[in-house]
Structure 1
Amino acid sequence: MDQSTSNHSDVIIVGAGPTGLMLANILGMYGHSVTVLEARDSLIDYPRGVGLDDESLRTIQTVGLVDEVRPHTTPQHIMRLVNGRGKSILINNPRTDEFGWERKHGFIQPEVDKVLLKGLSRFPSVQVLFGHSADRIEETESSVIAQVTVPDGEGGTSEHHFEAQYLVGCEGGKSPTRKRLGVSFDGKSPSTRWLVVDVNNDPLGTPNVFLGADPKRPYVSIGLPHAVRRWEFMLHDNEPEELATDPKFVNQMLANHVPDPAKLDFIRRRVFTHHARVAGSFRQGRQLIAGDAAHLMPVWMGQGWNSGMRDATNLGWKLSSVLRGMARDNILDTYTDERMDHAKAMVDLSLTFGKIIKITNPLGVAARDSASKILNFFPSVKSYFADMRFKPMPRYTKGVLADPTSFQSGRAAGVLSGKLIPVATANTKASPVGVQFIQPLVHTEELGTVRLDDAIGKWWTLMVLGNDPHDVLPAETIAQLTELQARLVAIVPDTQYAWAQRDMHEETLVLSDVTGRLKKWFDDRPTPMLLLRPDRFVAGACLNQDGPKTIAAVLESMTFIDARTSAPQPAGNSIGI
């Protein structure tokens, strides 16, 4: 970050919360100028979010901060749903690592947010301005202008103007940007209030999460990194906030959980209400919203922080595509198309899970506990909960993608319906288009054994199994991929690595599938050619001969601008990857 303040940038981000900081890291990584405006004087320093998932850690890996973040996490965070007698009725312990990392982590949000902030110092084009309140926004045909109030250090204030091509509001649930856009914020805020208690020097020491479905008073107990413990207790209607924050009352809440509540080292005691809302649109003109500004989630699935990371991951490369002159700004409409439905799904799941925990009616409690006993007798059902397969993974059916059967641009069905033998004999008919690709280990002579993303880079990737892309695609398609700045990759078994290195095109990146997990993925699917987006979602998947049609349809869906046939683009359109 420059020490001097620039009033002109590519993007203004309002709010230095986790979503805004991650979006600034992504844009900075791609070489764009960013101004982050934060009304507070510093980052929030008390614990808030406590769950970090594999998708978020993959994004953190992409921006090069995973080694700094990992010390503030507890991998393989196991969750146990227990009844009023303390007996486990459901265990959530997913062991999958298809995206390169453990599925669930406990984490200390203030420490991770600090890493995201410090990471911005790597980019001279990014500035973070604390104590800067964006009070009024004017949008013109070509820019957004923010009128900002800044304390002058002498008890007064001064006004400054900041201008950018786009503005992204990441200011939280009360987002002025969302209100200014005039979009709806549909959903509900359940009347149930909760007391959250965070303490240092964890007096219990157990490392995982306990959701107490106790009809007398539902609770949560969470062991976190750095010896932090969190409890949450549901408050009854006759317990006002003043009582809930009284030390004696808090100690009564903790009496069944810790031997001596009076000796705890409290970080905070606070009452909060869950919210479940999603904005009607995430974009209007040159202004967009992300994170809590776009959706608010109940805490049960730990998806508030992670959903903000998904927003930044989806939006960052699309803004970069527009700013680099690679795509028209229509591509920004796909941000809402792709993120809204999944945000709604996560809100609905969190609400449902909360209802299960909050049951207080004795008959309802008995029915829930009996049902859990019966379900545990069925291994497939038990693993459905244990492996967290109930969590809706993002699947985009509209956006920057192409249907693998019809080659329709901008839409993709969830199933493969082709009649060719390779499709008819496939192990799965589920389409890989619109879902996130796996991240196993691969090997190259230059890098050694690394995770896939670290080998292929941070932009578009055209991946072919067992073939050189240059040999199976015509020159015109290769030229389009070159304009896209896509990396051309060949995946081969380790036994064929030396041959491929010798015989394939010098610009083809050859990766050895040292674990066999990539081969297994392709074994199950009749799509040996993939076009991967910068966010690692599959935009196109096909047989090799269908590559030109598939790639053309994907480029159309992103409103791709081919510099060879279009007017000259602004200078500096090389992606920093």
Structure 2
Amino acid sequence: MTDTQTLDVAIVGYGPVGQTLSILLGARGYRVAAFDRWPSLYPLPRAVFHDHEIRRVFHAMGIGDDVAAISQPSARYQWFNAAWDTLVEIDWSAESISDGPVGYLFNQPLLEALLDGKARAQRSVEINQGWEVTALVQHDNHCELQLRHGVMRDGQWTPDGQTRTVRARYVIGADGANSFVRKAVGISQEDLGFQEDWLVVDIQPNPGVTLDVPDIGQWCNPARPTTMVPGGPGYRRWEFMRLPHETIDDLQQPAKVWELLSPWVHPGNASLVRHAVYTFRSLLASQWRQGRVLLAGDAAHLMPPFMGQGMCSGIRDAWNLAWRLDLLLRGIATDALLDSYTAERLPQVRAVIEASIAMGRVVCIADAEAAAVRDAAFLAGEVPPLPPFPGLAGGAVSTGYGVQGIAGQLGVHGQIEDGGRTARFDELVPPGFQVIALDADPGAFIDADAAALLTRLGARTLGVTTDPSKVRPGRVLRDVSGRYARFFAEHGVRLIVVRPDYYVYGGVSDPAQLPALLAHLADALALAPAPYRRMAA
């Protein structure tokens, strides 16, 4: 069967990354079809952590409150030595730049069910489960996918003889670590050098049971490096490193699982949800675009879990791609805009992987002498803290004009008040390109060319202020907590341009520089020629 329509975007893979991109593009009205080999959503936990930036994405998709109901704010992330001395603490409960704590713990099957429901509610989105891609061919103006359908028989995916051909202007490979899409277009991977086997165990304590266990911790015990973390409300997870003398089969025996859990939990007070050995690896695709095909999520990158950034990084990919594809499919930008996708995402993800590896190498020490040296260095304060979370160092950010140091940073988010209503910024101001000035209406600094660009992008201009005398309903909004004033002061700017993904394109210290900053933005977006308009007689 050959589908007669040409889709705007075909998404291969329907985990959280494919689901997110389906929602973001479907909400904009694009013809999207998602395909996944498995006939149903994966029913067992995998990822358990998302950070404040990803919570903002969920709010933007209209499921922020729903996600809050199935997650819990993070506590401090503590690392202990074998004697339970604290080696390091990372305060994931602290207030973040995004108007909430740094991190949250959740149950992935519940999250995927939410995302699936939201994706299916988009009228222009088609969800196809049980369909495996068998061939991918690129043409000048579209891609062609060959697919076959399968069902589960005796625990195995089995083709049932149905096939179809699908055409799409663009294809996104969000099909996991063994990505067919990545291999089909010949994109290579770089191995960054980390590989360890860990047993991952999820349990559900019985009602009323309270476990004596650190809320979020790494027990850096050379006898058995161990991770302990909530698995979302009502669940707990342990991860145990495989020791050199053990086999994977050794670790996967139920009796061995309960033996490892025995210091904290036993079959009488909890049930085993699942257990499996995973190989934690560090892989990075060499490029994330090949013509009309782009990669996202585990198809583009794999990382150790010690920063909780695997799923988060994949959702950032989808978030980054959505606004680019929107400009492209609306005819506002040329497809050269897709070239900066790799330039932005790959360096940021590389930095996150390298930090995750560094953390993993602290944890994954199974030699007592080496662990003693590590412990002494941490307890003496000789180990520098982890670097701050990386922003964007290249791509569509203004690193060559304006105040340096703010371009590519995640923008601030907080409570604002307008017309007597106080709410989150993203509840009062629709998403998209934004020009935000401190203590002023940026409209006063816009010339004709800047106005034409902002109109074409559908951008919004507004001011924020802590000074009640400068508030102008609908134009200059009250900065309720002073977050925006502090952010502007910290970076030495009076005006910023923010992208649809909440990253700062650039900032200037003098609002009169806005037209020049916007001219640089126009170049960075690889805009298509403006449509010709006949002059009135």
Task: Give the letter for the 1:475 counterpart.
Answer: A
Task: Give the letter for the 2:381 counterpart.
Answer: L
Measured after TM superposition, the shift of residue 190 of structure 1 is 4.1
Q: Distance in 2 between matches of 1:176 and 1:189?
A: 23
Q: Distance in 2 between matches of 1:527 and 1:519?
A: 10
CA deviation digits over 1:14-67, x for unaligned, max 9?
000111111111111222111000110111110101111011111111111111
Distance 1:155 1:49, change over 3 A: closer
Distance 1:207 1:450, change over 3 A: farther
Q: Distance in 2 between matches of 1:221 and 1:6?
A: 51
- Verify the 8 A CA contact 1:456 1:489 in the aligned structure 2: no
- The question of 1:47 aligning with 2:63 is answered no
1:420 paired residue number: none
- The question of 1:337 aligning with 2:357 is answered no
- Verify the 8 A CA contact 1:13 1:24 in the aligned structure 2: yes
Q: Distance in 2 between matches of 1:104 and 1:470?
A: 36
Task: Give the letter for the 1:214 counterpart.
Answer: N
1:90 paired residue number: 88
Q: Secondary structure at the match of 2:410?
A: coil
TM-score (norm 1): 0.86
Q: Equivalent of 1:8, from 6, 9, 23?
A: 6
2:190 paired residue number: 186
Measured after TM superposition, the shift of residue 392 of structure 1 is 4.2
Moved more, 528-537 or 248-257: 248-257
Q: Secondary structure at the match of 1:515?
A: coil
1:522 paired residue number: 488
Measured after TM superposition, the shift of residue 87 of structure 1 is 2.5
**1:322-471 residue pairs with structure 2 within 5 A?**
322-375=328-381, 390=386, 392-403=388-399, 405=401, 416=403, 431-445=405-419, 448-471=421-444
1:125 paired residue number: 124
Measured after TM superposition, the shift of residue 396 of structure 1 is 2.1
**1:254-333 residue pairs with structure 2 within 5 A?**
254-258=261-265, 260-261=266-267, 264-333=270-339
**1:20-59 residue pairs with structure 2 within 5 A?**
20-59=18-57
2:518 paired residue number: 551
Q: Distance in 2 between matches of 1:102 and 1:566?
A: 49
Q: Secondary structure at the match of 2:33?
A: strand
Distance 1:316 1:160, change over 3 A: same
Task: Give the letter for the 1:453 counterpart.
Answer: D
1:76 paired residue number: 74
Measured after TM superposition, the shift of residue 564 of structure 1 is 4.6
Q: Secondary structure at the match of 1:114?
A: helix
Gaps of 5+ in 1: 408-415, 417-429, 502-507, 568-577
Distance 1:553 1:270, change over 3 A: same
Distance 1:189 1:204, change over 3 A: farther
Q: Distance in 2 between matches of 1:130 and 1:207?
A: 39
- Verify the 8 A CA contact 1:171 1:293 in the aligned structure 2: yes
- Verify the 8 A CA contact 1:51 1:302 in the aligned structure 2: yes
Measured after TM superposition, the shift of residue 493 of structure 1 is 2.7
Moved more, 353-362 or 392-401: 392-401
Distance 1:247 1:6, change over 3 A: farther
Q: Distance in 1 between matches of 2:19 and 2:133?
A: 17
Q: Distance in 1 between matches of 2:491 and 2:86?
A: 38
1:164 paired residue number: 168
**1:151-230 residue pairs with structure 2 within 5 A?**
151=150, 156-188=160-192, 190-201=194-205, 204-205=210-211, 206=213, 208-230=215-237
Measured after TM superposition, the shift of residue 152 of structure 1 is 8.9
Moved more, 119-128 or 448-457: 448-457
Measured after TM superposition, the shift of residue 475 of structure 1 is 2.4
- Verify the 8 A CA contact 1:281 1:336 in the aligned structure 2: yes
Q: Secondary structure at the match of 1:399?
A: coil
- Verify the 8 A CA contact 2:48 2:230 in the aligned structure 1: no
Moved more, 121-130 or 281-290: 121-130
What is the aligned-residue identity percentage? 28
Q: Equivalent of 1:537, from 498, 503, 507?
A: 503
Gaps of 5+ in 2: 153-157
Task: Give the letter for the 1:327 counterpart.
Answer: A
Q: Secondary structure at the match of 1:115?
A: helix
Moved more, 226-235 or 34-43: 226-235
CA deviation digits over 1:371-416, x for unaligned, max 9?
222229xxxx8xx85xxxx2542322321122364x6xxxxxxxx4
Q: Distance in 2 between matches of 1:550 and 1:367?
A: 51
- Verify the 8 A CA contact 1:207 1:224 in the aligned structure 2: no
- Verify the 8 A CA contact 1:77 1:106 in the aligned structure 2: no
Task: Give the letter for the 2:242 counterpart.
Answer: L
Distance 1:263 1:519, change over 3 A: closer
RMSD value, Cα: 2.3
Q: Distance in 2 between matches of 1:525 and 1:264?
A: 50
1:575 paired residue number: none
- Verify the 8 A CA contact 1:192 1:274 in the aligned structure 2: yes
TM-score (norm 2): 0.92
Task: Give the letter for the 2:142 counterpart.
Answer: S
- Verify the 8 A CA contact 2:192 2:284 in the aligned structure 1: no
Task: Give the letter for the 1:490 counterpart.
Answer: G
